[in-house]
Chains A and B, each alone.
Chain A
């Protein structure tokens, strides 16, 4: 039998060193007894600890996951923890994967211990209540806490990082932690009498606790699951839990039974600043009207109507399919990735972007949500038709010389019927109202092309199409 005595209850380094030596000496877990200096004496312990085994040559490794678990589990109050950890280590040395087997008895046991320790640490972070001694600059903050496991050293750095600017002490029966504004220190445990018994803010805190509680939703079990009674004796707010519960029924009943009273004062109305602004011109008026459009159901799920944008004097009108994700959020057309590609192509084609009006055939974003993103959906014919009035009214205000339809949806809107792109693209077409039309692809089509070579080719064609528009623009400028 090998007897090992560790320096303290939380002596992980001592345990690690001893366990390592024991494994290298092939000492089976059944032949090792663990104790802590000054702890309860082992019934059959020898008068003096057995001589420390000499460290053997040779080495073995364990997974980081085990070390992490062991560091936490060793803080558990269970007296068997050193032996259980050694047993698991003993089994791990020949079977590294064992640590991943959640169903193994030892792994489950150690995992549960580590979890209990972390929960206790978390609860300490939550339920420590500081009480102020002295005021202002001379103030010192002292708390009394009774941890379930040996977690004071584990939990203390959190308070040092959080309350760096104030001196504090956390007193517990096991160990006390102190922070002087520069360094953490630890002293032996004390009794509760050493801690202050009240604080000037506690009555205010209790009032807050009582007021934030909704008596109509009494769920005492849910409260106790997260804040077990064992913590209550050190929580200043716990003294009013019972009266609050007892009064909850009556208060809820009263709220339901009491007839609503008549208001004391006439209801205030929101100020004028919230009413709609008057439109400055005909285009803004149109935009404002479209903001409330409900001609098809797409308005329901979208953020807002995305109306066209550009100068009233524009000679070219670019028509896309519909706003995308980004356009829907920003409320402006062609601000997303397709818009950036369009800008680049316009510049290469020699089109003056400042003299172009851009809009979409459909003015609400059509999509289906997929988790955190929205998948674009093609608008159907009835949606395109419902939205066409806005396109027509934009044309009648802008009076462009040329309308460029980008993609099939735009073409359907511009020509009033389904129009295949392949047969019509790249040449000027006369419209019934005397205007010209030009058909090309939608820039987002270029973005979707998987083959980089095809992408370059298609982009070139797109720029070529837009060059025709640039020609029209120059002619218009000349004529003006």
Chain B
């Protein structure tokens, strides 16, 4: 099989992993004249976008899509009839360097099906990173999938070469993981996430200590995970509760939500419908509210409930807490402003800087990049006061729902 055909199979096998981030790592470049590559300061770089709207930042492939496990939701499960392929370590290294040199990618995201044993698989994955870093002095971004239960020495080596490590939690609940992925063990996954965090903390402390000896390096872009949404019956509260737990327990940089999408040769046990993309989007919004807007899971969604699909979770919260509004934009605290529908973190910073010098008026909202339509019922400005009845109106929600479109009289 030629490398191009392998690439097709092994990229196709990798595309259900949503992460493609190349951000948040240490600053590196090759200006010392040795090797090639650099990292983008701050945010990563998306070198292309596929028609699914997803960023293409890394060469995202599996080392092999042969797998011992039979996880029902997975395109690579042992019982699937998809064609199988396996890259050699050198093939992946060469592809990465060839693509990188042409500025197609920021680096490599390497994962693998489990073959032989967790340690053997992890050793192969680490082997690619080792070769890129040690033999070719590659300074670009590397994201490695960590195999739960892999030996500690292998994990330490993975962290030495990689910018980011990840282990997918896969399902929001242990019970569904047991049902859909009988060979996977949520305890082993969490234990390994815990091991990663201890190593991340250790490297962080060493960096802060500022000793003369170079601190031992461990995945400067941290760890992330992914949850599949819509394959099992877990509700949004359960999903977000799990996320909050993972963020708190293992200091994850990101939890990715991946709407379960039809795969070639799918299992009978799973819902073969269009992926719930809107639900996925609402979960990301809720996730942002937890991480950057000071919301708790319990505030965003009630026990065993779902997020509304027609309006965003912050607006839904505001409509449930109308007694807290309207809020005076010229005097409210940062925490309060962050809870106004339509106010993003950057808009809030701009508002706070601006109001030190001048008062904010209705006509200023556009320059602050605040969507007027969404925010107006909830705020007071020096020349705007929402009608006192408006917030009490039961019909207020109608204002925000997407306009119903007539289905038409096609003939």
Interface residues of A (CB under 8 A from B): 97-98, 100-103, 105, 108, 122, 125-132, 141, 143, 158-166, 181, 199, 201, 203-205, 207-223, 226-227, 235, 237, 241, 244-245, 248, 252, 255-256, 258, 260-261, 263-264, 267-271, 273-274, 291, 300-301, 303-304, 326, 328-331, 367, 369-374
Q: How far is the CA of A158 from the CA of B39 in the complex (A)?
A: 10
B122 within 8 A of A: no
A162 touches B47 (CB 8 A): no
> Which one of B100-108, B160-168, B208-216, B315-323 is at the interface?
B100-108
Residues of chain A contacted by B179 (CB below 8 angstroms): none
Contact among B33, B50, B272 for A164, CB-based, below 8 A: B33
Contact among A208, A215, A245 for B7, CB-based, below 8 A: A208
| Interface size class, chain B | 35 or more
B344 within 8 A of A: no
Residues of chain A contacted by B197 (CB below 8 angstroms): 329
> Which one of B301-309, B355-363, B384-392 is at the interface?
B355-363
Shortest Cβ distance from residue A290 to the other chain B in the assembled complex, whole angstroms = 12
Contact among B50, B119, B183, B245 for A212, CB-based, below 8 A: B50
B376 within 8 A of A: no
A205 touches B102 (CB 8 A): yes
For the A-B complex with A269-B68, A369-B247 known, give 13 more contacts whose Cβ atoms are closer than 8 Å.
Answer: A101-B358, A129-B103, A164-B30, A213-B52, A216-B275, A219-B277, A223-B51, A260-B268, A270-B69, A326-B198, A329-B195, A371-B248, A374-B249
A245 touches B198 (CB 8 A): no
Query: Inter-chain contact count A-B, CB under 8 Å?
Result: 256
B375 within 8 A of A: no
A329 touches B194 (CB 8 A): yes
> Which one of B126-134, B259-267, B396-404 is at the interface?
B259-267
Q: How far is the CA of A109 from the CA of B32 in the complex (A)?
A: 40
Interface residues of B (CB under 8 A from A): 3-4, 7-9, 11-12, 14-16, 29-38, 40, 45-56, 59-60, 68-70, 78-81, 95, 98-99, 101-104, 114, 116-119, 149, 174, 183, 187, 190-191, 193-195, 197-198, 244-245, 247-251, 259, 261-268, 272-275, 277, 290-291, 350-351, 353-354, 356-358, 360-361, 364, 367-368
Q: How far is the CA of A237 from the CA of B248 in the complex (A)?
A: 40
- The residue on A at minimum CB distance from B69 is A270
Contact among B46, B48, B51, B103 for A220, CB-based, below 8 A: B51
Given A214-B261, A268-B78; A219-B266 close (CB under 8 Å): no
Residues of chain B contacted by A261 (CB below 8 angstroms): 81, 265
B45 touches A122 (CB 8 A): yes
Residues of chain B contacted by A103 (CB below 8 angstroms): 354, 358, 360-361, 364, 367-368
Contact among A98, A218, A227, A328 for B194, CB-based, below 8 A: A328
B248 touches A369 (CB 8 A): yes
B354 touches A101 (CB 8 A): yes
Given A214-B52, A372-B248; A141-B357 close (CB under 8 Å): no
B274 touches A252 (CB 8 A): yes
Contact among B53, B119, B261 for A221, CB-based, below 8 A: B53
Q: How far is the CA of A161 from the CA of B27 in the complex (A)?
A: 11
15 contacts between A and B (CB under 8 A): A102-B354, A105-B367, A125-B40, A141-B101, A161-B38, A162-B37, A213-B15, A217-B54, A223-B50, A226-B46, A227-B49, A263-B81, A270-B183, A274-B117, A374-B249
A201 touches B102 (CB 8 A): yes
Q: How far is the CA of A301 from the CA of B243 in the complex (A)?
A: 11
Residues of chain A contacted by B368 (CB below 8 angstroms): 102-103
Shortest Cβ distance from residue B154 to the other chain A in the assembled complex, whole angstroms = 14
A216 touches B78 (CB 8 A): no
A264 touches B11 (CB 8 A): no
Contact among B98, B261, B266, B351 for A201, CB-based, below 8 A: B98
Residues of chain A contacted by B33 (CB below 8 angstroms): 164-165, 181
Q: Which residue of A131, A217, A370, A373 has the most chain B CB atoms within 10 A of its CB atom? A: A217
Contact among B52, B187, B245, B249 for A217, CB-based, below 8 A: B52
B51 touches A219 (CB 8 A): yes
Q: How far is the CA of A159 from the CA of B103 in the complex (A)?
A: 9
Residues of chain B contacted by A260 (CB below 8 angstroms): 265-268
Q: How far is the CA of A212 from the CA of B117 in the complex (A)?
A: 27
A209 touches B358 (CB 8 A): no
B48 touches A237 (CB 8 A): yes
Residues of chain A contacted by B266 (CB below 8 angstroms): 255, 260
Q: How far is the CA of A130 from the CA of B103 in the complex (A)?
A: 6
Given A100-B357, A205-B102, A208-B59; A264-B81 close (CB under 8 Å): yes
- The residue on B at minimum CB distance from A217 is B52
Q: How far is the CA of A201 from the CA of B59 in the complex (A)?
A: 14
Residues of chain B contacted by A141 (CB below 8 angstroms): 101-102
Residues of chain B contacted by A227 (CB below 8 angstroms): 48-49
Given A102-B368, A132-B102, A212-B60; A162-B198 close (CB under 8 Å): no
Residues of chain A contacted by B34 (CB below 8 angstroms): 165
Given A102-B353, A164-B33, A217-B259; A268-B358 close (CB under 8 Å): no
